[in-house]
Amino acid sequence: MSELIPLADLPLPPQLAEACGYLGIGRWVLFYWRRAAGELVCYDGASELIGANWWAWRTFEDHPATMPWLCVYNFGDTRHEATHALLLDRVSNQAFVSSIPAARAHVEGQARKHNLHARSQRMLRGIDMIQRRGQAMDAAGEIGEWLDSRVKFLPVLPQDSEWLVEAREST
């Protein structure tokens, strides 16, 4: 797990994985944006959803409470291929960042260890839950409300005024 960077202070809604469309049973789930498909990728090592609920993801990623921690990583978008993935530990409700190959290797190890291939066939093939726009937008709203209710002020990071401004201007 040495290639995983913990984001200990990142406000993390406990329902984030589910709001983004994950219905599997894996402890570890990763997310990043695949530019070629123009979609959010959700992967647990056994099943992959390309086209996860991007409304919930963008609400989380772009929220003022999370942006200072996330803007320094490249999770991708419709113009840029991702180089990083956000990994969620659904048991401890903690987030980590890693390169996509290292993140995929981590969740694939989980899948082998817990035999997720045989146990999670319910996972997300053309999942109609997130194809229903209303439900996807409701999930995004829940993420935003959770973040708004937990964060009473914007976080101040060391040397915020210099590197954060530059990071925001470069995107």
DSSP 50: E
Say how many CA atoms lie within 13 Å of 57 toward its Cβ: 25
Higher pLDDT, 16 or 47: 16
Higher pLDDT, 114 or 111: 111
For residue 32, pLDDT over 70 is answered with yes
Say how many CA atoms lie within 13 Å of 116 toward its Cβ: 21
- Residue 63 C-alpha from the chain's centroid: 13
Higher pLDDT, 15 or 119: 15
Q: Give per-residue pLDDT as tens, 55-93.
A: 889 999 999 999 999 999 999 998 899 999 999 999 999
Range of the domain at 160: 5-170
Report the candidate in 33, 5, 31 with the shortest Cα–Cα distance to residue 18: 31
What's the rounded Cα separation, in Å, for the pair 124 and 47?
A: 8
Mean pLDDT of the chain: 79
Higher pLDDT, 90 or 36: 90
What's the rounded Cα separation, in Å, for the pair 32 and 85?
A: 5
Its pTM stands at 0.74
N-terminal to C-terminal alpha carbon distance within the chain = 29
Q: Which range is least confidently modeled, 1-5, 108-112, 122-126? A: 122-126
pLDDT for the residue numbered 29 = 94
Torsion angles phi and psi, residue 18, rounded to 5: -70, -40
For residue 131, pLDDT over 70 is answered with no
pLDDT for the residue numbered 100 = 96
What does the pLDDT average to over 17-41? 88
What's the rounded Cα separation, in Å, for the pair 143 and 137?
A: 10
What does the pLDDT average to over 106-135? 59
pLDDT for the residue numbered 98 = 97
Which residues are CB-neighbours of 160 under 8 A, at least 6 positions away?
68
18, 108 contact by CB (below 8 A) = no
What's the rounded Cα separation, in Å, for the pair 134 and 150?
A: 25
Q: Give per-residue pLDDT as tens, 136-159.
A: 667 777 878 877 777 665 555 544
What does the pLDDT average to over 2-23? 89
**Coil, strand, or helix at residue 81?**
coil
Q: Structural domain tally of the chain?
A: 1
**Coil, strand, or helix at residue 163?**
helix
